[in-house]
Structure 1
Amino acid sequence: MEPPDFEAMNFTVEPQVTVYPLCEEWRDSSEGSVFHLAHIFLFLGFMGGSGFYGLLYLFTFLTLGFFCATLWAWSDLCTTDAFLWSFALFGVCSGQALHVAYRLRSVSFEKEFQELYNCLFKRLGVSLTHFGKIVSCCDAEIHDIEEDHCFAIEGKTPIDKLSVLLSGRIRVTVNGEFLHYIYPFQFLDSPEWDSLRPSEEGVFQVTLRADNPCRYVAWRRKKLYLLFAKHRYIAKIFALVVRNDIAEKLYSLNNKAFDSSGHRYDLRLPSYCHMPGTELEKTDAFLQLPVQGERTA
């Protein structure tokens, strides 16, 4: 049997030309709108900030974005992979949003601690997580002082804690002489705290008496130093707020300290509070400052 004559049969095989469809116009269907909405949510989500509220903002918008992407992928039978990925990411982001919302709810404080955070720590950028560790260090306890009762007595009360006044007013005296008041959200014992090293002990050199019923929060020295050892960031925050409190008290004292001649003492010079009266008088020539508006010869 002879093989077939292909040339006589004149069969020609033309190569197939693959033609890809061109996008002639933008789609105007519902899935196109959902697709764009998904990316708008994703764009807004990635503009979130830091902290608990920033994370909640971020994951909320990411959840909405991936939910819209899942709806868009579901409407097209050819986007199975896109649907599975979008649905998986939607589940992850929704779980993260719920987790952050739970943590945000769990990091809640009593009214007075919340006011303490807003007045003293929030402006320094301290997160609620770090503030929660600070509150836990004092066991979230608030102490009371009745009117005319003493928080500390000169030469007797040991320096074993660091305290912040939450309400009321404290009168500070030395040798029976009035120095200044302590108002809410000021430290009661910042100079004493800063004057001692962790291994040192000391007693108050002033008397602190309540002018009216007061409430305060206190951290024990040992527990607070253990917290500082674990969290250097918290140690830096306390160093900043304590020294700022001391500076405010010094300038407050500096504006009120006058001798019998009406000259102002500068408390940034060596302290005169613990000097005998005769020695104090001898230092007048060195401590006198011209009153504002008065010129020296």
Structure 2
Amino acid sequence: ASCYSPVASTYPICGEWRDSLESSVFHLANIFLFLGFMGGSGIYGLLYLFTFLTLGFFCCTLWAWSEPCTTDSLLWSFALFSVCLGQVLHVAYRLRSVSFEKDFQELYHCLFQKLGVSLTHFGKIVTCCDGEIHTIEQNHCLAIEGKTAIDKLTVLLSGRVSVTVNGEFLHYIYPFQFLDSPEWDSLRPSEEGVFQVTLRADNPCRYVAWRRKKLYLLFAKHRYIAKIFALVVRNDIAEKLYSLNDKALNGSGHRYDLRLPSYCHIPGTELEKANVLLQVPSSSLTMYTFIVDTYCDCLLLGMSHCCGFTQQRSQIFQSVSSSQVHIDKVIF
């Protein structure tokens, strides 16, 4: 006989389809697997994925145990169940280990969670500042104009800070706002500078600060974190600039709309009668408004350095004060 002669198959041949369905455990296993593979990204997505895969392969193990002649299916299902269970425990441990103090949790919810920053990335941000919360007493200065170096980025956690330049009040800084976002954005990584404003605590304050050099090292390792900080810092600056529209008042308490410099909230005849306003060229305020609006647009597009509009808040204030427009008080 030839060695290539066909060998009779030892496996039973399926003559017809089974009339009965598989057990409910088999169908439940496939449902769990289907739901598991719909999991998303991130640490919570991993927890969702491996939880349902664990349940699915556990049901597969039960089904294989109850069926005869399914040793291979039983072993594979049990092995996959064990691997997925181990992943669930690992992800749960990672999730539990990423925990922060109350102040950092509030900072995460107010600034970073709405941008989709994961707890893992936020943990790297907290580690960069060594997890330290700084405090300062009332009437103490966080920065003095012309003296304090710009060597960190700071976010206020509680209290209120007033900003002044040459003794003139500019604006307040409230919790979860940056104390030095204009100064930070005005310098490139290789440049150095000093504050042009004074930051004074109106009451006991608590804040978190990242050292400039250490933060740039973090940006070099994680470009995603660098983009997040660029977004939140420039958004903070844009909000300060746009608030000019609500804080530009004349002596009578009328509000000027800086976005529409040709229109004021007082009758035109009164403008013509005011001698001091006869000297006002509308192009001065128009140009300033154009700079502010263009700068805010560039901030939102992430192009502040490219457009050359990186000015510190004291320079912006002085631009308004030195203009020929009669505005008695400008606060932003």
- TM-score normalized by the length of structure 1: 0.82
Q: How does 1:2-17 map to 2 (within 5 A)?
A: none
**CA RMSD between the two structures:** 2.2
Q: In structure 2, which of residues 317, 324, 328 is the aligned counterpart of residue 273 of structure 1?
A: 317
Secondary structure in 1 matching 2:191 = coil
**What's 2:34 paired with?**
43
Aligned counterpart, 1:121: 112
Q: Which residue of 1 aligns with 2:60?
A: 69
Q: Distance in 2 between matches of 1:117 and 1:206?
A: 28
Show the counterpart of 1:25. Answer: 19
Q: Is the 8 A contact 1:107 1:128 kept in 2?
A: yes
> Shift of residue 273 of structure 1?
2.9
Residue 258 of structure 1, CA deviation: 3.6
2:92 pairs with one of 90, 98, 101: 101
Provide the secondary structure at the position in 1 that maps to 2:247.
coil
1:135 to 2:175 alignment = no
Is 2:230 aligned against 1:239? yes
What amino acid is aligned across from residue 25 of structure 1 in structure 2? Answer: D
Distance 1:158 1:120 in 2: 25
Residue-by-residue CA offset, 1:111-134 (whole Å, 9 max, x unaligned): 111111111011111111111111
Deviation for aligned residue 1:26: 2.1
- 2:280 maps to which residue? none
Match of 2:220 among 225, 229, 236: 229
CA distance in 2, matches of 1:43, 1:163: 46
Report the counterpart of residue 86 of structure 1 in structure 2: 77
Q: What number of residue pairs does the alignment pair up?
A: 263
Measured in 1, the distance between the counterparts of 2:85 and 2:320 equals: 70
Corresponding position of 1:6: none
- Unaligned stretches of 5+ residues in structure 1: 1-17, 289-297
Residue 198 to residue 78, structure 1, CA distance change in 2 (3 Å) = same
AA of the residue aligned to 1:37: L
SS of match in other structure, 1:49: coil
* Cα offset, 1:263, TM superposition: 6.9
Q: Deviations over 1:216-271 (max 9, x none)?
A: 10000000011111111111111110000000011123421345576746665484
TM-score (norm 2): 0.74
Equivalent residue letter for 1:151: L
Alignment match of 1:218 (pick from 203, 209, 222)? 209
Provide closer, same or farther for how the CA distance between residues 273 and 109 of structure 1 changes in structure 2, counting only shifts above 3 A.
same
The alignment status of 1:110 with 2:101, answered yes or no, reads yes
Q: Which residue of 1 aligns with 2:324?
A: 284
**4+ residue stretches of structure 1 with deviation over 6 A?**
none
Q: Which has the larger radius of gyration?
A: 1
Shift of 1:77: 2.0
**SS of residue in 2 equivalent to 1:197:** coil
- Per the alignment, do residues 128 and 276 of structure 1 end up closer, same or farther by CA in structure 2, a change over 3 Å counting? closer
Distance 2:206 2:54 in 1: 44
Paired residues of 2:161 and 2:172 also in contact (CA < 8 A): yes
User: Do the aligned residues in 1 keep the contact of 2:247 with 2:255 (CA within 8 Å)?
Assistant: no
Is the 2:53–2:84 Cα contact (8 Å) retained in structure 1?
yes
Contact 2:246/2:255, CA 8 A, preserved across alignment: no
Deviations 1:17-40 (A, max 9, x none): x8633225223xxx7111111111
Q: For residue 257 of structure 1, what is the aligned residue in structure 2?
A: 248
